Structure 1
Amino acid sequence: MKKVLLKIDGMTCSACSSGLEKYLNKQDGIKQANVNLVMNNANIEYDEQKLTLEQVEKFIEKAGFTSLGIDTFEKESKKKGTEKYKLIAITIISLVILYISMAHMVGLPAIPFLNMMHHPVNYAIALLVLTVIVIILGKDILKSGYKNLIHKTPNMDTLVMIGVLSSFIYSIYGTIQILKGNTQYVENLYYESAAIVIFFIEIGRYIENKNKDKTKEALKQLMTITPNNATILKDGQEVKVTLDEIKKGDIVICKPGEKIAVDGEVVQGTTHINESFITGESVPVKREVGSKVIAGSINYEGTIQYRAEKIGKESTVSEIVKLVAQATSTKAPIAKIADKISGYFVPTVLVIAIIIFGIWLIISKDFSVAINIFVSILVVACPCSLGLATPLAIVIASGNASRKGILVKSSETLENAHKVKTICFDKTGTLTKGTLTVSRMYNYSNKDEKELLKDIASLENKSEHPIARAIVNKAQEDNIRLIDVKDFKAIPGFGIEGKTADEKHYLIGNKKLMLENNVELANSEDEQKLISDGNSILFVSLNKKLVALLGVSDVIKENVPQVITELKNKNIDVVMLTGDNEKTANVIANQIGITNVVANVTPKEKAETINKLKEKGLVMMCGDGINDSVSLVTANIGVSVSSGTDIARDSAQVVIINDNLERINDLLDISSKTVRNIKQNLFWAFFYNVCMIPIAAGILQPLGITLNPMIAAFSMTISSLTVVLNALRLRRK
């Protein structure tokens, strides 16, 4: 299966996006398609064995739209310039049409040779010519409406097309009658309705697109955050190169005030770097030999040299752009409901408009009255606001989250996060810093402590667990040279086993590992002392005999107690899930305010615990992503705490880049505000249609209140702008 994000041209409302999505999902070879109206793109997963990209793009064309290729979020300045000039032309001509047709109604002087009473032929021909120009300028709307009608996926443009052409064709009929001498038809010309409807649709769409572009600005800024050039060391000389010329392993030089060019690791120098654009933290962070640096961050102080590790599409910035784009191109459950409604909405409106047209034709016996009401219903019912309600809010919220260092991989996660009832935290590396140190070692063997540590560290060097790193670091501090080992095996949730070159068989891990392998345990006093001091304990057996206990200590992250308190204030149950022993876990839990501790559990048992907690409601699991993959997948929402350069954790739906658990509360707040905003948007969208369609249908006609097509187009534009402006309020939250 292959995933592509394609730029789509020609979508104007929710009926367009939902119709295209429905059409694509019916095609053999396409596993899933999500179409986003705000971003004007389609996230498509298809079977490469059955389809090529060209065939996928042909499906899009058959549905009445155009694929512009892979979406790179680059600016379409040329097209935007054309749209601007087109709108100016439509505005000027529409105002001229309005003046010619209505000046006399508001007391303005009529143009003498175009006076409808004295020169009806001139009047009719002038309006016909000017309206034809407006229709030609707004032909994209009519073409889109026609294509979607033919493909049986009628959309907003279909309603506009039928309405505009109905007014225009009836007006042409009136013009022909005037040319024949039946000048009374001059009162039944509706050229201005056809032109002004297109004018309001175009101006509304232009404003919508301007605001949609603002929501994409964060992505565009990220794509241009890295410098164009950098300095690398080549044969001992400093050489200026473009970003594309940098290769993995190159040594890059960054001086004060310059930006980091690519992701890498510092090999020389010390400095402070501003990473606020990616982590949301405004305080510069120290970077020294061994530290990771992220492309686009700004070097404040000293000159550093770093080894290029991630370039091009592998970089952190590229991953962020990819994940944010992925989130905005997925469908939230609430959006699927809106899409379903809009799919039935347009055909229903067409049927209602035809029925009402017939009723008014019978009641009034006046074709011009009936056609006016028919056009007003079609125009006022355009579901623009319905299509914008959800995706616009999701795009803005995703941008807000990414600026805080929170990457949400799907809009469904963004919608559901505020519903979470329980949050489970792994201990090591999540609640604690994960910078473990060996605080104490009890040696029960007849070997020298350094010799024993050499064997233990050599085996642990094969593991990626934080505790393993602590033991290896201890050996390096003691200048112990590691040796070759064999038959290494990691046992998730328990520890490791393996042999040294001279066939010594070691088991290193927790108490469960020892008991399952019938290792006799003694020295409980030493064990209790380590536990009471808050250490995690590592048991070491040699040939099934206990030979050592290692105490490994950690430091609680800043602000963790405050985060836990805030979560409790939101009536969320907080649980610590850890493979560590119960006493050590409780020592840490007491310090940070967690009362519900599930300790000494394997990854499988963690998942089982989460499944039980799911019975009470949605569960979020927060882990370091190293040994919590099963738990992260099992939870309704998996949150991975990242180091800042490794953000593509496949098992988590959310990645916190800056290692700051305060972002959990930020995520819940963003989710809550986003869902509230979406509901407000949908309310106004539905409220508008519920109120305006009956008025357009003439329900208030007995009171002398009518809604002509021009006012209908204006009110439809105002409805869309109301939704857009309400969604934009999320930026300030």
Structure 2
Amino acid sequence: MKKIVLGVSGMSCSACSNGLEKYLSKQDGISLASVNLVMANASIEYDEEKLTVKDLERFIKEAGFKSTGLFDITKSNEKVTYTDTIIFGVLVLVMMYFSMGHMIGLPNFKIFDHHMSPIGYAAAQLVLVIPFLVYGFDILKGGIKALFHLVPDMNTLITLGVISGFTYSSVKFILFVCGVIPSYGSLYFESCTMVIFFVKLGRKIDKSGKESTKSALKSLVTITPDFAVLKVNGEEKKVTIDEVKPGDTVVCKAGEKFAVDGKIISGSAHVDESFITGESKPQMRKEGENVLAGSINYDGYIEYEAKNIGKNSTVSEIVRLVSEASNTKMPIAATADKICGIFVPTVMGIALLGFIIYLICGAGFSESLNVFITVLVTACPCALGLATPLAVVVGEGLCAERGILCKDGKTLEIADKIDTLFFDKTGTLTTGKPVIVEVENASGMTDDELVKICASVEKFSSHPIANAFKLSKKDDYFLPAENFKNYSGFGISADINGKTYYLGKGAFIAEYAGIKDLPEKSKNAVYTEICVAENSKYLGRIYVADALKPDAKELIARLNKLGVEPVMLTGDNEAAAKEILKDIDIKRYYSGILPKEKSDYILKEKAAGKITAMCGDGINDSPALAVADVGIAVKNGTDVAVDCAEVTLMTDDLMKITEFIKISKNTLKCIRMNLFWAFIYNVLMIPIALGALKWAGITLNPMFASLAMVLSSLTVIANTLLLKRKSLK
């Protein structure tokens, strides 16, 4: 099976997208189809041996829509202009002047006067309605096609209403002109113009809202430059990105953006990667480190080797993953989709039933038709259809802006319910890199001098503890050392200025430096002890430990505030686990466990009905990440996403975890509000359209019904865009 994402134009409501999805799904050779109204695309898995891309595009056309080729978010932006809206808005005013001007005492030409020239009065409206039928031809055509394929949508409702009103009015007018009837009574030409005008206006507002929700993703795509500067035979050459090949040497000067992903060959600079990692401060990047396309070189000259280019870049990969995530449907959307699936046929039935009941009760044909048209026009599946996908796109975009990669909409919904969050200690809550926590000095020299000697010896060691001494040290910091020896698992030694220095466990110092009686330790067993000796002289101890990340304490405080219980999992012993927890408010922890056992603890919580999340680095905790309801991987390498995790943090900033949970909660709250307003609108307006408040003198005609429909969509769009302004603290 092959997967392809095709752009689709012509969809206006959830009934459209659901109808297309059903039509595609029932075609032989298609195993899965998912249509996204907001992104305007169709994700299709199909059998290449049975179908071609042209076949898929033909299916889309048969369903009443148009394929725009392979989906590309950078080209999906249909510029919204309001020129036609202004022109037809003026025509609407002209129509209102001719049809209703006399009601408020406005002067009119005799030839168009309602009483003096009824034929001229009606003919003027008939002439004016023709341009609107042409203007709304896409709606009428789509509505008829959808009805023909037995998947009626919003276009079908509008089409039935407009055609009914236009046909009835035209027939009455012709019969009057021919002298068959003495009067044509009420006409619906002005209602047809108003309905088409407001529906088209609503479509433009919807389109603007959809494009606004995709702004975060589009800003990611457009942030990469179109040109690069290559260094060829010592000379600089400006080329387009398409001309860059992996292995080329690319130049980036201060103030410029990196053109492609690559690895620094020479130079160093502070680099702004906030657009992808969410890290607000520029990070130092030097020789041997990776840089990302679109990041900004603040203050240095860098030459780097091109690695990932164009659609293979990290940015493009993120956009692809987020676009796919936006195409997945939330469980909460399932109910809305089911309702939308029966909504249009139900409204058609209600409108027809209302028409029949009014006729039976003695109302005239004109009044009954008015009820029929008003019910069709006032119903708004569009607002229902936008409620969920619009919010998902905004939520996914907010995550992407903050360096949080969420793989699907389902995860965004589950995160709202997380009540237990498991942490792998090493590399997640802690830095994973040993640091010097205390120097016990008996040498007579300063602490810095003692550490410098140790660092000069440890420089040659590959043991993880050696990093505590070598961290952020430049080459000119170290003293010249020779005759380095490594006593595996025991200690190391080297000669500096003719003296031999020993670093290791107490037993190592006793055996090789001949120092039998060492002073008592000042620290407990949770710290790693490094004894130091010069020839046979004891110099002191240096204690090394894995330190908490600076933001770990605040993270735990925020989680507790959100009602999420933090739980720590570690392979360390009980004493080491307790030592780490002295500074953070984690009540529950499990120590001395193997990596493969972590998943067992998570499964127990799930069995107890808890909604769990697991946060780790994706290296030795993959099973735990996989079994949790939400796996959160802290990026540790060059891969954009960790396969076993639903969420990947593009930086090791732990605050991203609570930001993700807050985005999830805000998104779900927004969806619920959207669905509430969309449902309440239809629940209230359809009965009013049927005349439920007629006893109070409140009635609804097609003109105001179409305006109300636009306002309902506008409410959903406005509420969704407010999601961008919500606090994440």
* 1:255–1:591 CA distance, 2 compared to 1 (3 A): same
Q: Give the deviation of 1:697 after TM superposition.
A: 0.6
2:106 to 98, 108, 115: 108
Structure-2 residue corresponding to 1:604: 596
Mapped contact 1:324–1:402 kept (Cα < 8 A):
yes
Structure-1 residue corresponding to 2:558: 566
Pairs aligned (count) = 657
2:615 to 622, 628, 632: 622
Once residues 529 and 603 of structure 1 are traced to their aligned partners in structure 2, the CA distance between those partners, rounded to angstroms, is: 32
Q: Give the letter aligned to residue 332 of structure 2.
A: I
2:579 to 575, 578, 587: 587
Q: Give the letter aligned to residue 199 of structure 1.
A: F
Q: Deviations over 1:474-524 (max 9, x none)?
A: 9x9999999xxxxxxxxxxxxxxxxxxxxxxxxxxxxxxxxxxxxxxxxxx
Mapped contact 1:8–1:65 kept (Cα < 8 A):
yes
Q: Give the letter aligned to residue 31 of structure 2.
A: K
Q: Which moved more, 1:575-584 or 1:384-393?
A: 575-584
Once residues 694 and 215 of structure 2 are traced to their aligned partners in structure 1, the CA distance between those partners, rounded to angstroms, is: 46
Corresponding position: 1:662 with 2:655:
yes
Q: Give the deviation of 1:370 after TM superposition.
A: 0.4
Once residues 595 and 427 of structure 2 are traced to their aligned partners in structure 1, the CA distance between those partners, rounded to angstroms, is: 15
- Unaligned residue ranges in structure 1 (runs of 5+): 441-452, 461-465, 483-524, 538-550
Q: Give the 3-state SS of the residue equivalent to 1:718 in structure 2.
A: helix
Mapped contact 1:381–1:689 kept (Cα < 8 A):
yes
Mapped contact 2:217–2:400 kept (Cα < 8 A):
no
* 1:399–1:454 CA distance, 2 compared to 1 (3 A): closer
Once residues 306 and 524 of structure 2 are traced to their aligned partners in structure 1, the CA distance between those partners, rounded to angstroms, is: 42
Once residues 662 and 38 of structure 2 are traced to their aligned partners in structure 1, the CA distance between those partners, rounded to angstroms, is: 23
Structure-1 residue corresponding to 2:413: 415
Once residues 110 and 559 of structure 1 are traced to their aligned partners in structure 2, the CA distance between those partners, rounded to angstroms, is: 74
* 1:184–1:386 CA distance, 2 compared to 1 (3 A): farther
Q: Give the 3-state SS of the residue equivalent to 1:660 in structure 2.
A: coil
Once residues 468 and 28 of structure 2 are traced to their aligned partners in structure 1, the CA distance between those partners, rounded to angstroms, is: 52
Q: Give the deviation of 1:687 after TM superposition.
A: 0.6
Counterparts of residues 376-415 of structure 1 (less than 5 Å): 376-415=374-413
Once residues 536 and 380 of structure 1 are traced to their aligned partners in structure 2, the CA distance between those partners, rounded to angstroms, is: 77
Once residues 479 and 193 of structure 1 are traced to their aligned partners in structure 2, the CA distance between those partners, rounded to angstroms, is: 94
Counterparts of residues 203-352 of structure 1 (less than 5 Å): 203-352=201-350
Structure-1 residue corresponding to 2:133: 135
Q: Give the 3-state SS of the residue equivalent to 2:275 in structure 1.
A: helix
* 1:266–1:481 CA distance, 2 compared to 1 (3 A): farther
Once residues 480 and 636 of structure 1 are traced to their aligned partners in structure 2, the CA distance between those partners, rounded to angstroms, is: 53
Q: Deviations over 1:371-400 (max 9, x none)?
A: 000000001112111111111111112112
* 1:662–1:76 CA distance, 2 compared to 1 (3 A): closer
* 1:272–1:473 CA distance, 2 compared to 1 (3 A): closer
Q: Give the deviation of 1:103 after TM superposition.
A: 0.7
Q: Deviations over 1:145-191 (max 9, x none)?
A: 11111111111111100001000000111111221135753432110
Once residues 535 and 309 of structure 1 are traced to their aligned partners in structure 2, the CA distance between those partners, rounded to angstroms, is: 40
Corresponding position: 1:640 with 2:638:
no
Corresponding position: 1:711 with 2:709:
no
Q: Deviations over 1:102-161 (max 9, x none)?
A: 111122112332112222222222222221210111111111111111111111111100
Mapped contact 1:294–1:645 kept (Cα < 8 A):
no
Corresponding position: 1:689 with 2:682:
yes
Once residues 484 and 288 of structure 2 are traced to their aligned partners in structure 1, the CA distance between those partners, rounded to angstroms, is: 20
Q: Give the deviation of 1:279 after TM superposition.
A: 1.9
Once residues 429 and 482 of structure 2 are traced to their aligned partners in structure 1, the CA distance between those partners, rounded to angstroms, is: 31
Mapped contact 1:263–1:645 kept (Cα < 8 A):
no
Q: Give the letter aligned to residue 56 of structure 1.
A: L
Q: Deviations over 1:183-209 (max 9, x none)?
A: 753432110111110001011111111
Once residues 47 and 152 of structure 1 are traced to their aligned partners in structure 2, the CA distance between those partners, rounded to angstroms, is: 26
Corresponding position: 1:673 with 2:663:
no
1:171 to 169, 172, 184: 169
* 1:292–1:580 CA distance, 2 compared to 1 (3 A): farther
Q: Give the deviation of 1:617 after TM superposition.
A: 1.3
* 1:218–1:184 CA distance, 2 compared to 1 (3 A): farther
Corresponding position: 1:732 with 2:725:
yes
Once residues 113 and 528 of structure 2 are traced to their aligned partners in structure 1, the CA distance between those partners, rounded to angstroms, is: 95
Q: Give the deviation of 1:253 after TM superposition.
A: 1.5
Q: Deviations over 1:679-726 (max 9, x none)?
A: 111111111111111110112223332111101101111111111111
Q: Which moved more, 1:274-283 or 1:721-730?
A: 274-283
* 1:181–1:644 CA distance, 2 compared to 1 (3 A): farther
Q: Give the deviation of 1:587 after TM superposition.
A: 2.8
Q: Deviations over 1:260-295 (max 9, x none)?
A: 111122222221111221222222111122222111
Mapped contact 1:29–1:50 kept (Cα < 8 A):
yes
Q: Give the letter aligned to residue 348 of structure 1.
A: T
- Unaligned residue ranges in structure 2 (runs of 5+): 439-457, 486-517, 531-542
Q: Which moved more, 1:399-408 or 1:351-360?
A: 399-408
* 1:617–1:23 CA distance, 2 compared to 1 (3 A): farther
Once residues 28 and 467 of structure 1 are traced to their aligned partners in structure 2, the CA distance between those partners, rounded to angstroms, is: 61
Normalising by structure 2, report the TM-score: 0.84
Mapped contact 1:534–1:587 kept (Cα < 8 A):
no
Q: Give the deviation of 1:554 after TM superposition.
A: 2.9
Cα RMSD over matched residues? 3.2
Q: Give the 3-state SS of the residue equivalent to 1:185 in structure 2.
A: coil
Q: Give the 3-state SS of the residue equivalent to 2:432 in structure 1.
A: coil
Q: Give the letter aligned to residue 562 of structure 2.
A: K
Mapped contact 1:319–1:648 kept (Cα < 8 A):
no
Q: Give the deviation of 1:28 after TM superposition.
A: 3.7
Q: Deviations over 1:544-590 (max 9, x none)?
A: xxxxxxx9843321110110121122222211223444443333233
Once residues 599 and 202 of structure 2 are traced to their aligned partners in structure 1, the CA distance between those partners, rounded to angstroms, is: 50
* 1:470–1:341 CA distance, 2 compared to 1 (3 A): farther
Q: Give the letter aligned to residue 729 of structure 1.
A: L
Structure 1 segments (4+ residues) deviating >6 Å: 437-440, 453-457, 466-474, 476-482, 528-531
Q: Give the letter aligned to residue 114 of structure 1.
A: F
Structure-2 residue corresponding to 1:38: 38
Once residues 256 and 454 of structure 1 are traced to their aligned partners in structure 2, the CA distance between those partners, rounded to angstroms, is: 33
Mapped contact 1:576–1:589 kept (Cα < 8 A):
no
Q: Give the deviation of 1:258 after TM superposition.
A: 0.6
Q: Give the letter aligned to residue 657 of structure 1.
A: M
Q: Give the deviation of 1:592 after TM superposition.
A: 3.2
Q: Give the deviation of 1:470 after TM superposition.
A: 9.5
Structure-2 residue corresponding to 1:188: 186
Once residues 338 and 686 of structure 1 are traced to their aligned partners in structure 2, the CA distance between those partners, rounded to angstroms, is: 10
* 1:38–1:178 CA distance, 2 compared to 1 (3 A): same
Q: Which moved more, 1:658-667 or 1:3-12?
A: 3-12
Once residues 8 and 28 of structure 2 are traced to their aligned partners in structure 1, the CA distance between those partners, rounded to angstroms, is: 20
Structure-2 residue corresponding to 1:61: 61
Once residues 306 and 20 of structure 1 are traced to their aligned partners in structure 2, the CA distance between those partners, rounded to angstroms, is: 47
Q: Give the letter aligned to residue 62 of structure 1.
A: E
Once residues 716 and 184 of structure 1 are traced to their aligned partners in structure 2, the CA distance between those partners, rounded to angstroms, is: 36
Q: Give the 3-state SS of the residue equivalent to 1:265 in structure 2.
A: strand
Q: Give the 3-state SS of the residue equivalent to 1:173 in structure 2.
A: helix
Q: Give the letter aligned to residue 720 of structure 1.
A: S
Q: Give the deviation of 1:7 after TM superposition.
A: 1.1
Q: Give the deviation of 1:350 after TM superposition.
A: 0.7
* 1:76–1:20 CA distance, 2 compared to 1 (3 A): closer
* 1:190–1:184 CA distance, 2 compared to 1 (3 A): farther
Q: Give the letter aligned to residue 115 of structure 1.
A: D
Q: Deviations over 1:397-430 (max 9, x none)?
A: 2112211111111111111212101111112221
Q: Give the letter aligned to residue 152 of structure 2.
A: P
Q: Give the 3-state SS of the residue equivalent to 2:357 in structure 1.
A: helix
Q: Give the 3-state SS of the residue equivalent to 1:305 in structure 2.
A: strand
